[in-house]
Structure 1
Amino acid sequence: MPEKNQAALDFLATRRSHSPKVLTAPVPDRAEVEELLTYAARSPDHGALTPWRFIVVEKPAMARLADLAEARARALGKDDEGIAKGRGQFDRGNLAVVIVERPVAAEKVPYREQTLSAGAVCLGLVNAALASGWGAGWVSGWISFDRGFVEDGLGLGADETVAGIVHIGSFATAPTERPRPQVTELTTWLSA
């Protein structure tokens, strides 16, 4: 029988992301962020292609990104809610990591698998932050898909996309539990 890592299982059974709206300072310092990124980079990566990279957005950059998000929202004709959603995460943010998917041409590794790897990195970063005692939440929003924003604001190349934005910080109260799916209703067993 395999030996269980009960502490890891207990963490996975109770893990809960935080809304970026409730995260505050202090945030991890650069050395701590690099440690979290090291954990996240241990995600599955078929072919060892590393089809993703990180952009760490520190507090001084948040105001610039909030203003750009508002300008892009207005240029796109978004309503007040769209404007608020675009700039809100940066107005409130203290530290975020943008996980950038950068596909690699590889005969044996289709782009779909590389997208899944980038998503695994996002979850790996959230879990690493939570396990380290920080609050963390993975978001996206329309800004993640707007080429003007990601190219002008984040410096993404034409072949790169945002897989996710993970906000990390301190929190005053633990997030409340939410309903979880019933695994038995979602599972099919093939025995033959």
Structure 2
Amino acid sequence: MRETLIEALEARRSVPAAALSEPGPTPSELARLLTIAARVPDHAMLVPWRFIVIEGAARRALGALLAEAYRAGNPQMAPEKREKFAGIMSRLFPAPLAVVVVSRPNRETMIPVVEQELSAGAVCMNLLHGARALGFNGIWVTGWAANDAQALAHIGLAEGERVAGIVHIGTASEVPAERPRPDVAALTTRWSPPG
């Protein structure tokens, strides 16, 4: 079992949201995924993140709102280009399930904000690993909708919150070919005492 887990971690691969289709997680699998996602380092147990689940008909409804927000927010753009990107926004949630991981750091504690934001990032990674363990595929993205004030209001973020990631989950119609990976040896140094 240990080797199977190691092999799964070594083979982890993102699948574009547009290549994710049904089936997606069942309600009980989603509950399990969110529980797995929440098992992350969290200094002082602040729970500096939360989830927004987008599934079913809500995907299309939110896509329509985001397309309209894109149009309204880019009046200077050439109309054909604006419509092209608005169309992309309208199809932003093609996978059966998207989980928006919202970073909500507590700024009234001595725990550094960066630690709290990294905890939210770990939630995104756990979601991907959990999805893979349950036989699904996924991708962690952000993009325009994660950074535009009107889009964030439509998604349901409050003041002081940020999108740590939008994790799309479903079944891959085709897993992309392996991509080049970093040279870990070139990125690794070993500290030694001076002198």
TM-score by length of 2: 0.89
Give the match for residue 50 of structure 1. 47
- Of residues 108, 112, 134, the one that matches 1:132 is 134
Alpha-carbon offset, residue 104 of structure 1: 1.2
Which consecutive residues of structure 2, in runs of 5 or more, have no partner in the other structure? none
C-alpha deviations, 1:104-140, integer Å up to 9, x for none?
1343311111111111100110111012110111111
Contact in 2 for aligned 1:26/1:169 (Cα 8 Å): yes
Query: CA separation in 1, counterparts of 2:131 and 2:167?
Result: 10
C-alpha deviations, 1:7-49, integer Å up to 9, x for none?
2221111111111110001111111001011111111111111
1:175-186 matches, cutoff 5 A? 175-186=176-187
- Of residues 115, 118, 121, the one that matches 2:117 is 115
Which consecutive residues of structure 1, in runs of 5 or more, have no partner in the other structure? none
**Corresponding residue SS for 1:150:** helix
The size of the alignment, in residue pairs, is 187
Give the match for residue 173 of structure 1. 174
Alpha-carbon offset, residue 59 of structure 1: 1.6
Alpha-carbon offset, residue 66 of structure 1: 1.0
Alpha-carbon offset, residue 98 of structure 1: 0.6
- Note the aligned Cα RMSD (angstroms): 1.6
Structure 2 residue 28 is the aligned partner of structure 1 residue 27: no
Query: CA separation in 2, counterparts of 1:39 and 1:124?
Result: 6
**Corresponding residue SS for 1:98:** strand
Query: CA separation in 1, counterparts of 2:91 and 2:143?
Result: 10
Calculate percent identity across the aligned residue pairs: 42
Structure 2 residue 93 is the aligned partner of structure 1 residue 96: no
